[in-house]
Structure 1
Amino acid sequence: MHASPPDAAIRPFTVTHRGILAIAVPMTLAYLSTPLLGFADVAVIGRLGDAALIGGIALGAVVFDFLGAIFYFLRSGTTGFTAQAFGAGDRVEIQATFFRAVLIAFAGGLAVALLARPLLPLVIAAFGASPEVSAATLRYAEVRILATPFMLVGYVLLGWLLGLGRSGFALVLQTVLNGLNIVLNIAFVMGLGFGVAGTAAATALSEALVACIGLALILRSFARADRPSRMRVLDRAALIRMVAVNRDIMIRSFALLFAFAFFASRGAALGDTLLAANALLMNFFLIGAYFLDGFAAAAEQFAGRAVGARYRPAFERSVKLTLVWGYALAFGAAALLLLCGPALIDFMTVNPDVRAAARTYLIWAALTPIAGVLAFEMDGVFIGATWTADMRNMMLLSLVLFFAVWFIAGPILGAHGLWLALVVFLSARGITLFLRMRRRIAATFG
């Protein structure tokens, strides 16, 4: 993002605690409800009593979770551009951003649905599951992949609504999606006996219906006077910039996924007990991340709006307030984990060795929200401001530090060294982005 031209209008607005919470709370609820899609699939298939079918659904969910993580840049990128157009008061560009993002999402989703489907047997075979589980996974994936264009359009709808600060609408769409999925799952699997294919069809149809509903409602809300021309929507420079921002976010997401995959693989190399303990403790971190993501979403909207409005005080106050709430939540989560962690561990597993290992490393899990909160909030700020090249570069630098700490501390401290590397990785992401932000503020606001 380059500095705004000196003759651009400055559009002051106020950032308040209430405004931050009005975005963060609905988005947190929306994020927390996301895992319900996979949960509903497993719960309904589980009623059939066939372990292979349950395994097939579980592996299928992994495939689509990974696919979703790869393309989630569509949500983030759309938020930044929309928030900036909103801050600038450019109602034509708000609509143009929406149409551009929907076109990119639908085209990308269609390409995945057509090109990835023949590759599914190879991807599923790589899991090394039994023939029965692999067959069930393939049946599930072949049906659900057809809805990829609608899944990606759904990301755009969420990002566009968040860019305008309409997180309540986003929560409604997510709630409808989960409700439809549950109802259709029961109808297709328990009522009509379609099995795994029925579960996949329920999820795919839910995503398609909610995408169409969201599109229809948003298009109805558009003022005809603000409708952009086809030339404006397909403007080459705007499309290239949107693709570049999305590319940077995708690289950042790949690096993040790689770091967590490496953490899991190193834990597995240290034994099955430690692998299970680490997986259990990482669930604690991921639950905390959903709450921190809500305030990161608020940072995206307000930071992007302030950049579009060229109003530095609002930018700086949005950073301050989201950090205050983020750190309050992070320290609260850490204290809760230290106090209730042993009881939660005992509830989640009855294996005495896993319980003992999880207790040993609980302190590290409690530190992860505190170490990661600055990274979460800075991600939100940089996405909203579309400073994505910096976000990509600082992520790659932090990944190098992660490997360096593990290489040095791993052989000496074992699993403690692995957790230390993760905490350093999370901390480095936040600190490097925060330091970079100070230069970016000066360049952007003048």
Structure 2
Amino acid sequence: MVLSIAVPMTLGFLTTPLLGLTDTAVVGRTGDAAALAGLAIGAVLFDLIFSSVSFLRASTTALVAQALGRGDKHEQQAIFWRALVLSVGLGLIILAASPWLLSVGLRMMGPEGTTAVATATYFSIRILAGPLTLTNYTILGFVLGLGRGATGLLLQTILNGTNIVLSIYLGLVLGWGVAGVAWGTLIGEATAAVVGLALIIPRFDRKDGPTVAEIFSRAKLSALLAINRDLMIRTFTLLAAFTLMTRIGTGFGAGILAANAVLMNFFMIASFYLDGMANAAEQIVGRAVGARFREGFDRAIRLTALWSLGLALVSCLFFLVFGSAIIDFMTTAADVRAIAADYLPWAAVTALTGALAFQMDGVYIGATWSREMRNMMLLAFTGYGLSLALFVPLFGNHGLWLSLNLFLALRGLLLLARLPARVAQSFTDSH
């Protein structure tokens, strides 16, 4: 069951960097450097905004999986509609605030002239998909909560596949450039949302449908918002950790900054399948918690830990052996290649130090222990800050990478240390 969820979602996640590569290639083929820079800045702004609300997917997965474990089809439908209302509402708020968000983003990133125009063009079109993007978060969360990994893969493939094809057609064939890429993204989001809703809603049994009052239940909405609030704080803290690494790396010069950017791709590659395992943990753990089935919960912990750590070990060894060749493929700059090779072991080991953190995230999300997850993230971030203050002055960029690995390991270990007490509390009356 672990692989039936993890493998499809890993494959689905792998289509995302392919999309980014295509968008970059499409605009890059126009030969307009300002447009390419504008695309990059616009994509960063958009991702920054929407990664901060990606908790909608995780919370929906957890609550649906728990309702599935209880055999409560009525609540499954109620959770879907509740999350959908919240997603569309947040999407409309973001859309209404988009002129202000763009203004702040332009001031923060500092593009000028035609680059700023390209950024504004891309952002202003793509932000129209805001409600659709969040709707797709809810749809994906719902199907994963039911354990339908293949459906999740289908939806991710439709979303990114449509986007890729239309970006090429609109951006290159029709010559729309950055605007074509943005319209391709918007249409891809719309297509995935329509297909997703068409796959979900007709399968609902009308007799299990919730009333409007149940969907807008203050208690249920408050619980959903509380989970999402905690997950949002956790997500912002994680973004802050990686932003801090980039900011400190900037002080070491362009060569080291570029090398670090290349090496972070090793961690991103590992994160695709570790995220897939976390998705499996969310669903299986959520289902066990909903059913109050302690044996199933323990088995989920063991299996996802075994797969996560095993794959992380293989990944680490692969990067140590073939990492230099991958670096050479990713950059032709001799100085960046040489610098990246020096720090390669630190990047290779991130898969191992991060494996437990990803798995525990899946466990805590599935069990909706969001408060503990938030608190342990803040504690780990504090440790990260202290390690940066201690090791960066002593070891430079080596200290920066050491601190990142300590942060990843600390996240997992803190959550693991908290697990026995939390499990005992949740399964006190279970069988």
* TM-score, normalised with respect to structure 1: 0.94
Q: Does the Cα contact within 8 Å between 1:295 and 1:322 map onto a contact in 2?
A: yes
How many Å separate the matches in 2 of 1:186 and 1:431?
A: 45
In structure 2, which of residues 290, 293, 315 is the aligned counterpart of residue 308 of structure 1?
Answer: 290
In structure 2, which of residues 226, 230, 233 is the aligned counterpart of residue 251 of structure 1?
Answer: 233
Q: Which amino acid aligns with 2:39?
A: I
3-state SS of paired residue (1:193): coil
How many Å separate the matches in 2 of 1:206 and 1:362?
A: 36
1:349 aligns with 2:331: yes
Aligned ranges 1:123-162 → 2 under 5 Å: 123-162=105-144
Q: Which amino acid aligns with 1:63?
A: L
1:110 aligns with 2:92: yes
3-state SS of paired residue (1:275): helix
Unaligned runs of 5+ in 1: 1-18
How many Å separate the matches in 2 of 1:148 and 1:36?
A: 21
The CA deviation at 1:35 is 2.4
The CA deviation at 1:46 is 2.3
Range moving further from structure 2, 364-373 or 32-41: 32-41
The CA deviation at 1:198 is 2.2
3-state SS of paired residue (2:349): helix
1:363 aligns with 2:335: no
1:322 aligns with 2:312: no
Aligned ranges 1:32-181 → 2 under 5 Å: 32-181=14-163
In the alignment, which residue of structure 1 is the partner of 2:397? 415
The CA deviation at 1:45 is 2.1
Q: Which amino acid aligns with 1:93?
A: E
How many Å separate the matches in 1 of 2:113 and 2:123?
A: 15
Question: Residues 119-174 of structure 1: CA distance to partner in whole angstroms, max 9, x if unpaired?
Answer: 31331232122311110010111111111000001011111111100010011011
The CA deviation at 1:264 is 1.0
1:297 aligns with 2:279: yes
3-state SS of paired residue (1:49): coil
In the alignment, which residue of structure 2 is the partner of 1:223? 205
How many Å separate the matches in 2 of 1:411 and 1:179?
A: 46
Question: Residues 243-271 of structure 1: CA distance to partner in whole angstroms, max 9, x if unpaired?
Answer: 00001001000000000110111111111
Q: Which amino acid aligns with 2:340?
A: A
Q: Does the Cα contact within 8 Å between 2:65 and 2:286 map onto a contact in 1?
A: yes
Q: Using CA pairs under 8 Å that are at least 6 residues apart, name the structure with larger relative contact order, 1 or 2.
A: 1
How many Å separate the matches in 1 of 2:379 and 2:245?
A: 17
Q: Alignment length, in residue pairs?
A: 428
How many Å separate the matches in 2 of 1:376 and 1:186?
A: 34
Q: Which amino acid aligns with 1:340?
A: F
In the alignment, which residue of structure 2 is the partner of 1:210? 192
Q: Which amino acid aligns with 1:119?
A: L
- Alpha carbons of 1:353 and 1:47: their partners in 2 closer, same or farther (altered >3 Å)? closer
3-state SS of paired residue (2:52): helix
- Alpha carbons of 1:192 and 1:338: their partners in 2 closer, same or farther (altered >3 Å)? closer
Q: Which amino acid aligns with 1:49?
A: G
Q: Which amino acid aligns with 1:435?
A: A
Q: Does the Cα contact within 8 Å between 2:26 and 2:177 map onto a contact in 1?
A: no
The CA deviation at 1:233 is 1.1
3-state SS of paired residue (2:97): helix
The CA deviation at 1:350 is 2.5
Q: Which amino acid aligns with 1:271?
A: G
| Identity value in percent | 49
In the alignment, which residue of structure 2 is the partner of 1:196? 178
The CA deviation at 1:434 is 0.6
In the alignment, which residue of structure 2 is the partner of 1:339? 321
Aligned ranges 1:375-414 → 2 under 5 Å: 375-414=357-396
Q: Does the Cα contact within 8 Å between 1:296 and 1:379 map onto a contact in 2?
A: yes
Q: Does the Cα contact within 8 Å between 2:357 and 2:408 map onto a contact in 1?
A: yes
In the alignment, which residue of structure 2 is the partner of 1:288? 270
Range moving further from structure 2, 52-61 or 287-296: 52-61
Q: Which amino acid aligns with 1:390?
A: E
1:272 aligns with 2:216: no
How many Å separate the matches in 2 of 1:126 and 1:134?
A: 12
The CA deviation at 1:312 is 0.3
Q: Does the Cα contact within 8 Å between 2:158 and 2:191 map onto a contact in 1?
A: no
In the alignment, which residue of structure 1 is the partner of 2:411? 429
Range moving further from structure 2, 347-356 or 134-143: 347-356
1:31 aligns with 2:13: yes
Q: Does the Cα contact within 8 Å between 1:157 and 1:215 map onto a contact in 2?
A: yes
In structure 2, which of residues 232, 242, 252 is the aligned counterpart of residue 260 of structure 1?
Answer: 242
How many Å separate the matches in 1 of 2:133 and 2:27?
A: 22
The CA deviation at 1:74 is 0.4
Q: Does the Cα contact within 8 Å between 1:37 and 1:203 map onto a contact in 2?
A: no
**What RMSD, in angstroms, separates the aligned Cα atoms of the two structures?**
1.2
Q: Does the Cα contact within 8 Å between 2:392 and 2:400 map onto a contact in 1?
A: yes
How many Å separate the matches in 1 of 2:419 and 2:33?
A: 50
Question: Residues 75-105 of structure 1: CA distance to partner in whole angstroms, max 9, x if unpaired?
Answer: 0111110000000000000000000000000
Q: Which amino acid aligns with 2:89?
A: A
The CA deviation at 1:406 is 1.3
Q: Does the Cα contact within 8 Å between 1:117 and 1:145 map onto a contact in 2?
A: no
The CA deviation at 1:49 is 1.8
